[in-house]
Amino acid sequence: MKQKKHTKKDKKPAYKKTSQKEENKTMANEIKQNGKGFSEAEIAVHWKEEELIYPPSTFVAQANMADPKVYERFSEKKFPECFKEYADMLTWDRYWHTTLDTSNPPFWKWFVGGKLNASYNCVDRHLQQYKNKAALIWVPEPEEESDAVITYQELFVRINEFAALLRDFAGLKTGDRVTFHMPMVPELPVSMLASARLGIIHSEVYGGFSGQACGDRIQDSQSTVLVTIDGYYRSGTLIDHKANADIAVKRAEELGQKIDKVLVWRRHKGQYASKSPMVKGRDFFVDDLLKEFKGARVEPISMPAEAPLFIMYTSGTTGKPKGAQHSTGGYLSYVAGTSKYIQDIHPEAVYLCMADIGWITGHSYIVYGPLALAATSVMYEGVPTFPDAGRPWRIAERLNVNIFHTAPTSIRMLRKAGPNEPAKYNYHFKHMTTVGEPIEPDVWRWYYYEVGKKEAAIVDTWWQTENGGFLCSTIPAIKPMKPGSAGPGMPGIYPVIYDENGKEIERGSGRAGNICIRNPWPGIFQTIWGDPDRFVKTYYEKYCKNKNSKDWRDWPYFAGDGAMEAEDGYFRILGRIDDVINVAGHRLGTKELESACLTVPEVAEAAVVPVVDEVKGRVPVVYIALKPGYENEGEKIAQKIVATIESVIGKIARPKNIYIVPDMPKTRSGKIMRRVLSAISNRFNVGDVTTLANADVVEKIRVLVQGKDKVIVEKAPEDLEHFGEEK
Ligand code: WTA
């Protein structure tokens, strides 16, 4: 590939401000443009190449990584030793002897023989130089409440005291699991780093998940201690969060896992935001307990590089969530390296990532990565548009944030609610990130021109919970940006696109297929907690070339995303190819939702499909067939289903619509045709349904959903086009 010089001027912005009506039109056009014309050859035609935009020279001049030779240093010839460059950003108690051990594929081991502690690397080692520097700045949602500025020294003290509590009061030791059900408060990183200090494996469950979802994850990880908080703010409301802990403990116990202690942080010291009573002997206020541990110091435990650091649950194709188990040495090396080169985090950075620490982005790029590099990481408690769409920009202006990181859903939301807000505030980003979903080029342009004021380099980072850190992205000072494309493989990451039969799709052909990574990398998860068979089956079986081989080249990692690669080596990610819906950047399994529906007694059958949503990307729609005799109670039952989904999974899974249908479209063997339901929901052509067992029901459902008039969107977005097809 040719290396372009940075002297090239930005092209004239294709971006122009659009009215809401025009915007909708653009959305529709985009769906059309981006949709593939059913044959792969046509995709290339429909894939409109966007303009390249070069990073500002001011950015390049100060960048951590501006040397194009980095790609050579991380080339396949230098693999796996190249990753020493990342590992050397950490402080090791003992250096490793083997960079990559492939003796038991695909259970790769990185930096074998090495020992280190993650908490030490994120805090202790910075004290000498930076003890008075802000490690975390926490911005509460209510604007009248002041920020909490936590210096590295203060963070060190809090981590030590809480670690002493975990060890001496809660009785936890190295290798035990502890579940957190915490929102965006500084007590969450404190809890994480206190666990890491002792080699306790933390499992943080996203705060917006229901108590029941938390209980399922407690059981799966066999935790005996739950750490939670009484309440937190969301859209101006102080949420009663402790109530979820009671449900979680009950649920875990029903499943056979007993929680001995619930440790409850308090949002406001000395007050209690919850109506749920504290259970004697089980529930304890952390602030009360901490009085006993004032001034306590806990030696960080030197952990083997391959010791698990944490578990992060994510959705898959079956109802049961998967616990992605991440290592200490490999993971921390990878997030430190990518935070430095891709996020361009310097110790002086004031870095605001608006993801939630309850998801992998927050673990890697709010807590572990930025703190490993001694940066100031800003955490915001609440909703980006609260109390108005100027909020993030006010935070940025006041704290002088220079690096900003968020997801397309927030960008769309902020654009919709306040397209002209960024211009009103005097902040300057040098760098911005988009992550978690495909970003429409038009939305990208608003981000670049309005939010970034043309001053910031943008990276579109593609990766997953399972990956620890970025897989595809531009290196911001080296490669130009292309709206809507993530970019080439990261240094040391060698992507490949296969077709369904395992045949490699020609590089740079612009043809769609299943993106895989040919090689292991330090941030890759180690296994699915407690289910190594599912790990192998889900991620490696499909494209494994020889299951007896100990050569990593025979074990490509199957990501579960559709993608295409342009001539210039940039990858454009199309979305999930499995039964996972990416709702506002949150991964939800359709099977999880269907199982929740089926717990409602009146429901006979349930099918969940994704539909396009202007702000959230994709949202779930639910189809229900009732048991006989309930035909007249549809409305009531639909409400019951919504309530059930919210209590089993959480509000994020709330369906856009629930349709009670006379019957599900089925094959002759009785399988529900989700493909047909998806086509109807998204107004695509349903295709040939004559082979169905009950073809006549298709038109009935279509009228129910779309009304009598038929309006067909000609081309489906790539991820939806094949949704629900037999694989
Ligand atoms: C999607 C989030 C397009 C993708 C870090 C992936 C993206 C899933 C991008 C993982 C991106 C993530 N462009 N799509 N830049 N980043 N995705 O596990 O479908 O919550 O498989 O990890 O999000 O979601 P997860």
Enter the tokens of residue 558: 């199957």
Q: What is the mean pLDDT of residues 399-415?
A: 97
- pLDDT of 32: 35
| pLDDT tens digits for range 166-223 | 999 999 999 999 999 999 999 999 999 999 999 999 999 999 999 999 999 999 999 9
Q: What is the pLDDT of residue 20?
A: 41
What confidence score (pLDDT) does residue 3 get? 44
- Closest to 614 in 3D by CA, of 406, 408, 387: 408
Q: What angle do CA 686, 573, 516 make, to 5 degrees?
A: 105
Distance, CA 69 to ligand 1 centroid (Å)?
A: 28
For range 35-62, the mean pLDDT: 68
Say yes or no to pLDDT of 719 above 60: yes
The highest-confidence range among 23-27, 315-319, 380-384, by mean pLDDT, is 380-384
Q: Are 391 and 354 in contact (CB under 8 A)?
A: no
**311, 409, 463, 517, best to mutate for ligand 1 pocket (most atoms within 8 Å of CB):** 463
Helix axes 211-221, 634-648, angle to 10 degrees: 40
Give 152's pLDDT tier (boundaries 50, 70, 90). very high
Average pLDDT value over all residues in the chain: 92
Give the residue, by CA position, lying nearest to ligand 1 atom 12.
Answer: 436
* 9 has a pLDDT exceeding 90: no
Number of DSSP helices (H) and strands (E) in the chain, helices first: 24, 30
Alpha helices in 142-241 (DSSP H): 152-168, 187-198, 211-221
C-alpha dihedral, 390 to 394 to 395 to 400, nearest 10°: 140
List, for residues 86-110, the tens digit of each pLDDT value: 999 999 999 999 999 999 999 999 9
| pLDDT (average), residues 368-391 | 98
Q: State yes or no: pLDDT of 4 exceeds 60.
A: no
Q: What is the pLDDT of residue 242?
A: 98
Q: Among 239-243, 434-438, 713-717, which is the least confidently predicted range?
A: 713-717
* Closest residue CA from atom 23 of ligand 1: 436
> Which is higher by pLDDT, 80 or 317?
80
Ligand 1, closest atom to CA 560? Answer: 21
Work out the pLDDT band at 526, boundaries 50, 70, 90: very high
Q: Which is nearest to 381 in space by CA: 555, 575, 183?
A: 183
The number of the ligand 1 atom at minimal distance from the alpha carbon of 466 is 18
pLDDT in tens, 326-348: 999 999 999 999 999 999 999 99
Ramachandran class of 683: left when φ > 0, alpha when ψ lies in -120 to 50, beta otherwise? left
What confidence tier does 44 reach under pLDDT thresholds 50, 70, 90?
very low
- How open is the CA angle 545-548-550, to the nearest 5 degrees? 85
Instruction: Using most ligand atoms within 8 A of CB, pick from 315, 331, 464, 723 the residue to mutate for ligand 1.
Output: 464
Contacts 24+ apart (CB under 8 A), 693-701: 693/666, 693/667, 693/668, 694/663, 694/665, 694/666, 695/665, 697/661, 697/662, 697/663, 697/664, 697/665, 698/665, 700/661, 700/662, 701/623, 701/659, 701/661, 701/665, 701/677
Looking at per-residue pLDDT, the higher value among 452 and 685 belongs to 452
pLDDT at residue 47, as a whole number: 52
- Please, which pLDDT band fits residue 27 given cuts at 50, 70 and 90? very low
Measured in Å, residue 459 CA sits from the centre of ligand 1 at: 14
DSSP letter for each residue of 73-102: HTSGGGTTGGGHHHHTTSPPSB--SEEEE-
pLDDT of residue 234: 96
Calculate Rg over the CA atoms of the chain: 25
Distance 605 CA to ligand 1 centre (A): 30
36 has pLDDT over 50: no
462 Cα: distance to centroid of ligand 1 (angstroms): 6
Q: Which residue has the higher pLDDT, 252 or 670?
A: 252
The pLDDT of residue 726: 61
Name the residue of 587, 652, 723 whose CB sits within 8 Å of the most ligand 1 atoms, as the mutation to test its pocket: 587
Q: What is the DSSP string of 98-114?
A: EEEE-SSTT--EEEET-
Helix (H) or strand (E) holding 71: helix 70-73
Confidence of residue 662 (pLDDT cuts 50, 70, 90): very high
Closest protein CA for atom 10 of ligand 1: 464
Q: What is the pLDDT of residue 170?
A: 98
Report the pLDDT value the prediction gives residue 712, as an integer from 0 to 100. 78
Tell me which of 22-31, 134-143, 281-290, 608-617 is least confident: 22-31
What confidence category does residue 11 fall into, taking pLDDT thresholds of 50, 70 and 90? very low
Q: How far is the CA of 114 from the centre of ligand 1 (A)?
A: 31
Share of the chain above pLDDT 90, in %: 84
pTM of the model: 0.91
Residue 1 structure tokens: 């590939």
The pLDDT, as a whole number, for residue 506 is 95
Pocket of ligand 1 (CB under 6 A): 314, 359-361, 435-438, 460-465, 486, 560-561, 573, 575-576, 582, 587
- Phi and psi at residue 162, to the nearest 5°: -70, -35
* In the block, residue with structure tokens 């063997």: 669
The model's confidence at residue 718, banded by pLDDT at 50, 70 and 90, is confident
What is the arithmetic mean of pLDDT over 241-252? 98
Instruction: Give the phi and the psi of residue 333 in degrees, each rounded to 5.
Output: -60, -45
Mutate to test the pocket of ligand 1, among 582, 583, 588, 718 (most ligand atoms within 8 A of CB): 582
Q: What is the mean pLDDT of residues 289-293?
A: 98
Q: Is the pLDDT of residue 31 over 50?
A: no
Task: Report the share of the chain in percent with pLDDT over 70.
Answer: 93
Give yes or no for a cis peptide into 183 (omega within 30° of 0).
no
**Of 25-34, 454-463, 506-515, where does mean pLDDT reach its minimum?**
25-34
- For residue 77, with 0-12 CB atoms within 10 Å meaning exposed, 13-18 middle and 19 or more buried, which class applies? exposed
Report how far Cα 119 is from the mean position of its chain's Cα atoms: 23
Question: What does the pLDDT average to over 705-714?
Answer: 82
CA of 609 to the centre of ligand 1 (A): 18
The C-alpha atoms of residue 255 and residue 246 are separated, in whole angstroms, by 14
Distance of CA 433 from the midpoint of ligand 1 (Å)? 13
Query: Which residue, judged by its Cα, is nearest atom 6 of ligand 1?
Result: 464
pLDDT higher than threshold 50 for residue 325: yes
CA 274 / ligand 1 centre spacing (Å): 34
Residue 320 has pLDDT above 70, yes or no: yes
Instruction: Retrieve residue 52's tokens.
Output: 């390249």
Q: Where are the alpha helices (DSSP H) in 436-587?
A: 441-445, 532-536
Q: Residue 669 — very low, low, confident or very high, per pLDDT cuts 50/70/90? A: confident
| 670 alpha carbon – ligand 1 mean position (Å) | 33
Biggest alpha carbon distance in the chain? 74
d(CA 513, CA 577): 9
Query: Average pLDDT in the 379-406 region?
Result: 98
- Span from the CA of 464 to the centroid of ligand 1 (angstroms): 5
Average pLDDT over residues 22-27: 38
Band the pLDDT of 30: cuts 50, 70, 90: very low
Residues with Cβ within 8 Å of residue 321, at least 6 apart in sequence: 213, 216, 217, 220, 313, 314, 315, 589, 592
Q: What is the mean pLDDT of residues 254-277?
A: 96
Q: What confidence category does residue 727 fall into, taking pLDDT thresholds of 50, 70 and 90?
A: low
- pLDDT value of position 533: 97
Both tokens assigned to 336: 């430190």
